[in-house]
Amino acid sequence: MIKLIKNVEVYSPEKIGKSDVLIADMRIAAISPEIHMAESEYVEIIDGTGKLLVPGFIDAHVHILGGGGEGGYRTRTPELQLSDLIKGGISTVVGCLGTDGIARNMESLVAKAYGLREEGVTAFVYTGSYRVPVKTLTESIQKDIMMIEPVIGVGEVAVSDHRSSVPTREELARVIADARVGGILSGKSGVVNIHLGDGKTGLNPIEEVLSSSDIPYTQVLPTHANRNPDLYVEALKYAKNGGYVDFTTSTVPAFIEEGEVKASKAFAMALEQGVSSDHMTFSSDGQGSLPRFDKLGKLEGLDVGKVTSLFESVVELVREFNISLEVALKPITENPARLLKLKGKGTIAVGCDADLVLLDSESLQITDVFYRGKQMMKATRLVECGTFERCDS
């Protein structure tokens, strides 16, 4: 089935302007001010009037298998469901393990990624968990990246955190070097996604490796860089030196009160301070556990990080910080696609995968979602949902 989206304002994320967009064979076949085609049993015409067409979003740090568990076994969080991704406009996801690399493992993570692929998502994984040495599938970081197709890098390796394995500089350097070579030999990025905690050493463990080796800054992506004000200041310096930094969008009010810089604010302030908009990414940390406190600071229960927070942060950038949509979209589209070498993703251009999101031009609400041309959401209603879900729920 060919689809033709008519009269829509296209953001690639760069503003292209009013266009007609033709989707054929799961890809974008043409973008032109005027494409004429009659509706038929083979051609579906979609009216894009009053809508913005943007690339499907990329969420490069999600606990697709569930995460958490840091308050005991019952705090292990549930698996990600397809409908969550669709509601968030996310067509590409990178799954990872977290603190727990024992009761969660790589076999299950890869199986979950395959499951999401069967449901239409573009899904990849990082090999490993918080710990070094990295527990891989094949006993080798290089081999995992080269021989296990969904593995595109390593992560989330924890540093500066009381839950980390406290890797030495040499150990961390070896992980990054192995990932780099695995990436070079497979045509993948081999990026090492590094979890930053609240620990005293901040970004130093990464800086020490990069400043004393020949490995480029683009080989690592430190995440949670907005988790406290001191770390955030360090992260801006790091980004100005050429690094990429990732801001986490899932949060709770208690974290913000404790000093977490919310992702939208982190991006907007960084721009003001001269950090390139090309060097920042957002990820949701979806399905991670988030503690919920009452007014007296007593733990009331736990929430689960939501992938829908990813685009909400982009809307905040536009609404609260007056950032143009074309810049605000970069951290969830072209920036992660470039860094993670995700071909055909993160942009709207002829030949790219037809991963697309339609937004209401006034409210910026997600109204329609396409995964490789297949409609997953139509007029704000789910058309598709996960194997164990009901679309009307």
Number of other residues whose CB lies within 10 A of the CB of residue 319: 12
Least gap, CB of 79 to Zn ion (angstroms): 17
- Count of residues binding Zn ion (CB under 5 A)? 2
CB of 392 to Zn ion, least distance (A): 34
Residue from 6, 112, 188, 195 in contact with Zn ion (CB under 5 A): 195
In the complex with Zn ion, the residue whose CB is nearer, 188 or 195, is 195
Q: Is 227 in the site for Zn ion (CB under 5 A)?
A: no
Contact 82, 386 (CB under 8 A): yes
d(CA 190, CA 260): 29
Site string for Zn ion, 146-175 (x = CB under 5 A): ----------x-------------------
Q: 20, 178, 285, 368: which one is catalytic?
A: 285
Least distance to Zn ion, CB of residue 289, Å: 11
The residue whose Cβ lies closest to Zn ion is 195
**Which of 189-197, 289-297, 314-322, 367-375 is the region at the interface with Zn ion (rule: CB under 5 A)?**
189-197
Q: Which is nearer to Zn ion, 131 or 195 (CB)?
A: 195
Residue 254 CB, nearest distance to Zn ion (Å)?
Answer: 17
Q: Cβ–Cβ contacts within 10 Å for residue 106, how many?
A: 23
CB atoms within 10 A of CB 86: 27
**Between residues 156 and 355, which has the closer beta carbon with respect to Zn ion?**
156
Closest CA to 78 of 125, 112, 118, 114: 112
Report strand pairing: 245-248 vs 220-223.
Answer: unpaired
3-state secondary structure of 74: helix
Among this protein's residues, is 392 annotated catalytic?
A: no
Contact 67, 35 (CB under 8 A): no
The binding track of 49-78 with respect to Zn ion, each residue x by CB under 5 A or -, is: ------------------------------
Distance (Å, whole) CA 196 – CA 164? 9
Coil, strand or helix at 298: coil
Q: How far apart are CA 187 and CA 108, in angstroms?
A: 25
Binding segment toward Zn ion, per CB under 5 A, in 188-196, 229-237, 238-246, 356-364: 188-196
SS3 state of residue 262: coil
Residues forming the site for Zn ion (CB under 5 A)? 156, 195
Query: Among all residues, which ones are annotated catalytic?
Result: 285
